[in-house]
Structure formats: C-alpha cells, structure tokens
Amino acid sequence: MALLAIGCAVLLSLQLNTGSLSISRDQLAQALMGQGEALAEQIVWELRLPRALLGMMAGAALALSGALMQGLTRNPLADPGLLGIGAGAALASATLIIIWPNLPRGLLIPAALVGALLVAWLTWRLSRRHERSMARLLLAGLALNSLVTALLTLMTWRATGDQLRWLLFWQLGSLERADWPLLGVMGSILLFAIIRLNWLARGLDLLSMGEASCRHLGWPVQRLQRETVFWIAVLTATSVALCGLIGFIGLILPHILRLIVGPGHTRLLPLCMIGGAALLLLADLLGRTLLAPQILPPGLMLALIGTPLFIHLLLGRRALPM
C-alpha cells in the first residue's frame, strides 16, 4: 500500500508538471499555495489538478467495481462490462445528450446511474428467475450487454455534428471535462463506498467459500449480493458519466494485486482503489506525452497496455488466481 501510494503521488506530481506549458516544482508548490503567478495558478487549479483528481477517482472507482464484481461472481474474468452496467450507463447518457444537446453536465450522473441500475436490476431478475446461479447472472449480463451495446451503436449511427463528438467521448474515454463541482459529487460517492468496504470485504471473503457456507455462518447472502451489485453499478455509472467507457482497469488490476497480496478482500479492495488511481494517472500521462501535442484518450492507452498484459496472465503459470 505504501509503494502504491508513493507511486500515485509521483504520478500526480508529474501530471501537474507536464503539459504544453512546463511548470517547475517551485512554481507548482507556489501555485498550489495560491502564491504563484496568475497564469500558473490558473493552469494548475482549473486544468491540471481537476483532470488529475478525476483520473484518480475514476481509476479508484473502476478498480473497486471490478474487484467487487470478481468477488461476487467468483470468476476471475468478470468485470462490470460483462453485466452491461457500463454500457447501460453510457446508453442513458447518450440518449439524454441526443434529446437535450445543451444539457447541464451535472444531469449526466443521475442519468448514467439510472441506466446502470436498470441494467443491473434486469440482469439480477433474469438470473434469479428459476434458480440462484452466478453462471446465470453472467449469461444474463452478456445478453443484456449485447443488446445495450447494439442500442448504443444505433445512437452513434443516428448522431450528427456535436452529438457524434460527444458519443465518441463516451466510447474512447477522456478526462478533458473535469471540473470541481462534479469532482465533489464523485468524491462523495467514493466516500460512501469506502465506509461500506469493511462489511463488503468480510462478506465476499465468506462468499468465496460458497453461498451455503456463508449462510451457515450467519451472513445475509442475498443482502450482500444486492448491495455489491448496487455499488458496482453506482461506481461504474459515475465513472462513465464523467469519463466515458474506460476498460481493463477493473479486469487487470485485481489479478495483479492478487498475485502479490492474495485473494483476501480486506486487503485487496483498498489496494485496488490506490492502484486504480495510479494506473489511470499513468495511462493519461502516457497519452499526453507520447505523441505531444496530440492527446491520446486514456481508454485507448489502457487497451494498448492491458491487452498484452492480460494475454501474459492467461499464458503464465500463475494465471488468474482467485
């Protein structure tokens, strides 16, 4: 945890220093304290710091939702995308953008949350129609994910002009639209999730032994499953509303951390949050510097980094432990 926190702090410092206008460490320190030049303060406080904080919060939320998803289904290949939660959030946001092109951005969060929760509820109901099975949950999620993705593609096909640019923003993922009021909303959601981490972690550790064993130990299995799905949907929807569809963090990072600290969720969940923040900061930093002055979306960078890493995990001797 200490190493990840140090790495996250270093990446945050690099994010604030790197850009079209170079800012030294002394200038950065003065700007953060409100004692620097007006231009440096404006760049740091209005552009770079909100972008970096949004990357940290979104990375933490995505990694945490991925770890929760894998713990719930006891499947190392599971992530919120398999249940269509991210696509549902994107579809709801895209629909609102098409209907109301000049909408306030603050409305995207509740719209994305409604879409994510609706898809999560439909998946849950379909999987519990006859019998309880995590396999049925994943199959229902895959079916709904295909449907929602097709609808999102149809929205892209029908969009024109600015609407198409907005939809491309959702599909590629971006940190360009960070601002302080929305950061406050996302920070509050993350804070409430952190408050529930201990209870969720203990329950998922017991659930790893099987639902029957967990129930015999006195743990409310259905309540645990419902609340876990709820937090997966909330965290994913908030990230999609502010950053678009960013993949691979929730899929790759829990595997890497399990190789280091083991499968216990009490340690895994906090580490996933710090590691997710650092990983998205790294992807955004690489996207801003590799082909400067052009900026590559962090979702694209994560796909380029995550795909070879995932193949390596699949082919390795210690592939994908739970």
> What is the reported pLDDT for 320?
47
Return the biggest CA–CA distance within the chain.
66
Radius of gyration over every alpha carbon of the chain, rounded to an integer in angstroms: 20
Using CA atoms, how far apart are residues 33 and 45, in angstroms rounded to an integer? 10
- The CA distance from 220 to 227, in Å, is 11
Please count the CA atoms within 13 angstroms of the CA of 139 that sit on its side-chain side: 9
The pLDDT tens digits for 157-188 are 777 777 777 777 777 788 887 888 889 989 99
Query: How much is the pTM?
Result: 0.89
pLDDT of residue 130: 52
* Residue 270 and residue 198 in contact, taking contact as beta carbons nearer than 8 Å: no
Q: Where are the domains of the chain?
A: 2-315
Q: What's the rounded Cα separation, in Å, for the pair 216 and 137?
A: 23
**Could you tell me if 201 and 266 are in contact, meaning their C-beta atoms sit under 8 angstroms apart?**
yes
Q: Give the chain's residues under pLDDT 50.
A: 317, 319-322
How far, CA to CA in Å, does 52 sit from each of 5, 8, 183, 292?
A: 15, 11, 11, 18
User: What is the token pair recorded at 42?
Assistant: 């404006």
CATH architecture of 2-315: Orthogonal Bundle (1.10)
83 HSE (CA, 13 A, CB side) = 37
pLDDT of res. 311: 79
pLDDT tens for each residue of 59-97: 999 999 999 998 988 877 778 877 788 888 888 888 887
